């Protein structure tokens, strides 16, 4: 670590006491602070139906991503074993609730998986028959993008064989079955929940009104919270708008910009504390300004959508931009190079190596 004045401790904060300026960790540790930046992110939200969690797979962490891969690959292995057509159909169906970037990217990735990576791996089942059903409650996919880009993603996924149901609200989820508001059902041995997020529950311990049902917090212009100038919120759990009054999206560039902003404020106040300007710190705090670099989503191989300022790209150019940006922001030269070479090799071979079932199958 380059910054010698930074200490990293692996502990989960369980309690916050804003008035006492103290945080308690699961390890039993107590952390007294002069300043606090709460940036604990978001988690999957089931819109008040926590029982759905037992029947679905979320995608917020690497461990969850591995669970999805494990479940889908194990289901294909089970489908190869069974002699029952009905079971095989259920085992070879993946339902994805939520047609935002996560749902769209996943749906595209599954079609790549079965058409390319796994195409020669099974003898009794035809993996290209994997049924991917994408369910979206609103009338279009990728609601945060432009209409043309939504239409492009819809068309592209349809070409890849994804079944897309828009304007379709999920009414219930039971084991292996999604029940839709129109009374129909989708039987699927893998149900992925990409339909909603909510802020880390620590926001409810800040003692300030929450901005929305997702439990996010609207900070002051400098990212501190009202009544507690020493507490800042940042990243996905902050609810704020940019200079054009558009919501700041829950993306990595927004989180890093907020982190940098808070670091600047702290550095400046630390400097002032040591000078005769002590006490003037609040007046001097700059306002956080979000610089919108844009949003992007990949839609299977060779296709993506990018929305950046006046640029609204779709197709291969957008896909190249997606690859370039995602490699650019990887940490460390070694990672960048190995991912670049891995992707280039997979692209040329047209068959990424992904058939790994980690841990025991479900
Ligand atoms: C599937 C997926 C794909 C995405 N793709 C993109 C993309 O392509 N481009 C993009 O810009 N953004 C993408 N995002 C969004 C991006 O990941 C987030 O906007 C960004 O990570 C938010 O940063 P954050 O610091 O607010 O939260 P996080 O990155 O979620 O970090 C929060 C951290 O807090 C820790 N934490 C939580 N609770 C506690 C606690 N009680 N005590 C201690 N630590 C705690 C968590 O373990 C975590 O490490 C994607 C998100 C998902 C889920």
Q: What is the pLDDT of residues 47-93, one digit of tens each?
A: 889 999 999 999 998 899 999 999 999 999 999 999 999 999 999 99
Of 136, 190, 217, 208, the residue nearest 361 (C-alpha)? 190
Residues present in the chain in total: 362
Instruction: Decide whether any atom of ligand 1 lies within 6 Å of the 253 Cβ.
Output: yes
CA of 72 to the centre of ligand 1 (A): 24
* Beta strands, E only, the chain: 13-17, 22-25, 30-32, 36-38, 42-44, 93-97, 131-135, 163-165, 170-174, 177-180, 185-187, 190-193, 197-199, 224-225, 228-233, 295-298, 304-308, 311-315
How far, in Å, from the CA of 251 to the mean position of ligand 1? 8
Burial of residue 306 (number of CB atoms within 10 Å: 0-12, 13-18, 19+): buried
* Residue 40 in tokens: 């604990």
Output the residue whose Cα is nearest ligand 1's atom 48: 40
Tokens for 73, please give them: 């690959």
Nearest to 92, CA basis, from 75, 108, 107:
75
* φ, ψ at 140 (rounded to 5°): -150, 155
Pocket of ligand 1 contains residue 262 by CB under 6 Å:
no
Ligand 1, atom 19, residue with closest C-alpha: 251
105 noted as active-site residue: yes
So what's the pLDDT on residue 345?
A: 83
- Are the CB atoms for 153 and 115 separated by under 8 Å? no
Which ligand 1 atom is the nearest neighbour of the CA of 251? 19
Residue-level pLDDT at 282: 54
Q: Which residues pair with 298 in a beta bridge?
A: 304
For 350, the 3-state DSSP assignment is coil
Average pLDDT, the chain: 90
pLDDT tens for residues 15-38? 999 999 999 999 999 999 999 999
Handedness of CA 134, 137, 143, 149 (dihedral sign): positive
Question: CA dihedral defined by 166, 76, 358, 194, rounded to 10 degrees?
Answer: 10
Q: Would the CB of 250 count as within 6 Å of ligand 1?
A: yes
The pair of structure tokens assigned to 145 is 């993008």
The answer to whether residues 302 and 159 touch, using CB atoms and an 8 Å cutoff, is: no
pLDDT at 238: 96
* Active-site option among 32, 64, 105, 159: 105
Mean pLDDT in residue range 113-117:
79
- Nearest atom (ligand 1) to Cα of 14: 41
| Cβ-Cβ contacts under 8 Å for 238 (sequence gap 6 or more) | 216, 217, 218, 219, 223, 248, 258
Residue 170 CA: distances (Å) to CA of 19, 94, 98, 179, 354: 42, 15, 10, 6, 30
Torsional class of 98: left (φ above 0), alpha (ψ -120 to 50), beta (otherwise) = left
Sign of the alpha-carbon dihedral angle for 203, 143, 329, 73: positive
**b vs e for 170-206, b when ≥16 Cβ sit within 10 Å of the residue's Cβ?**
beebeebbbebeeeeebbbbbbbbbbbbbbbebbeeb
Q: Are the CB atoms for 203 and 215 separated by under 8 Å?
A: yes
Q: Is 15 in the pocket of ligand 1 (CB under 6 A)?
A: no
Q: For residue 356, how far is its CA from the centre of ligand 1 (angstroms)?
A: 25
Q: What is the pLDDT of residues 296-348, one digit of tens each?
A: 999 988 899 999 888 899 999 999 999 998 898 888 889 889 988 888 888 88
State the pLDDT at residue 205. 96
Q: How far is CA 36 from CA 32, 254, 355, in A?
A: 9, 19, 43
Q: Is the pLDDT reported for residue 119 higher than 80? A: no
The verdict on the CB of residue 201 being under 6 Å from ligand 1 is no
Ligand 1, atom 44, residue with closest C-alpha:
12
Does position 355 have pLDDT exceeding 80, yes or no? no
- Ligand 1 centroid to Cα of residue 122, in Å, is 36
CA neighbor of 190 nearest in space, from 43, 336, 91: 91
User: Cβ(102) to ligand 1 under 6 A?
Assistant: yes
Whole-prediction pTM? 0.88
Tell the residue number behind the tokens 């992007």, with chain if given: 296
- What secondary structure does DSSP assign to 85-133, as a single string? HHHHHHHTEEEEE--SHHHHHHHHHHHHIIIIITTTT-SSS-GGG-EEE
- Does 252 sit in the ligand 1 pocket, CB within 6 Å? yes
The structural domains of the chain, ordered by start, are: 13-44+198-284 (3.50.50.60), 50-196 (3.50.50.100)
Instruction: For 135-171, write each residue's pLDDT tens digit.
Output: 999 999 999 898 999 999 999 999 999 999 999 899 9
Q: Which atom of ligand 1 is nearest to the CA of 254?
A: 19
Give yes or no for residue 276 having a pLDDT over 70.
no
């Amino acid at each position: 670590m380059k910054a010698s004045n930074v200490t990293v401790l692996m502990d989960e904060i369980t309690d916050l006491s804003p008035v006492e300026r103290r945080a308690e960790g699961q390890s039993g540790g107590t952390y007294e602070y002069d300043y606090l930046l709460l940036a604990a992110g978001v988690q999957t939200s089931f819109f008040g139906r926590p029982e759905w969690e037992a029947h679905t797979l979320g995608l917020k962490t690497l461990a969850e991503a591995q669970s999805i891969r494990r479940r889908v690959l194990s289901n294909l292995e089970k489908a190869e074993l069974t002699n029952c057509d009905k079971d095989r159909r259920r085992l070879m169906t993946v339902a994805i609730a939520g047609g935002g970037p996560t749902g769209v990217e996943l749906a595209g990735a599954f079609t790549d998986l079965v058409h390319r990576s796994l195409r020669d791996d099974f003898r009794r089942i035809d993996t290209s028959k994997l049924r991917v059903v994408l369910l979206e409650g609103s009338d279009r996919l990728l609601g945060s993008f432009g209409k043309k880009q939504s239409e492009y993603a819809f068309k592209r996924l349809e070409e890849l064989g994804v079944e897309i149901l828009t304007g379709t609200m999920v009414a219930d989820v039971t084991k292996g079955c999604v029940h839709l508001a129109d009374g129909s059902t989708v039987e699927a041995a893998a149900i992925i929940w990409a339909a909603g997020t909510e802020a880390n529950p620590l926001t409810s311990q800040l003692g300030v009104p929450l901005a929305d049902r997702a439990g996010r917090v609207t900070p002051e212009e400098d990212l501190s919270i009202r009544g507690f100038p020493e507490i800042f919120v940042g990243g996905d759990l902050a609810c704020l708008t940019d200079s054009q009054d558009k919501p700041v999206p829950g993306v990595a560039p927004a989180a890093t910009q907020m982190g940098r902003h808070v670091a600047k404020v702290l550095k400046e106040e630390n400097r002032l504390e040591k000078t005769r300007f002590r006490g003037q710190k609040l007046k001097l705090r700059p306002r956080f300004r979000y610089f919108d670099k844009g949003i992007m989503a990949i839609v299977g191989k060779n296709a993506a959508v990018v929305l950046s300022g006046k640029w609204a790209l779709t197709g291969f150019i957008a896909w190249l931009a997606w690859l370039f940006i995602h490699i650019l922001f990887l940490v460390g030269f070694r990672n960048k190079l190995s991912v670049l070479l891995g992707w280039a090799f997979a692209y040329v071979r047209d068959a990424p190596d992904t058939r790994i079932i980690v841990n025991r199958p479900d």
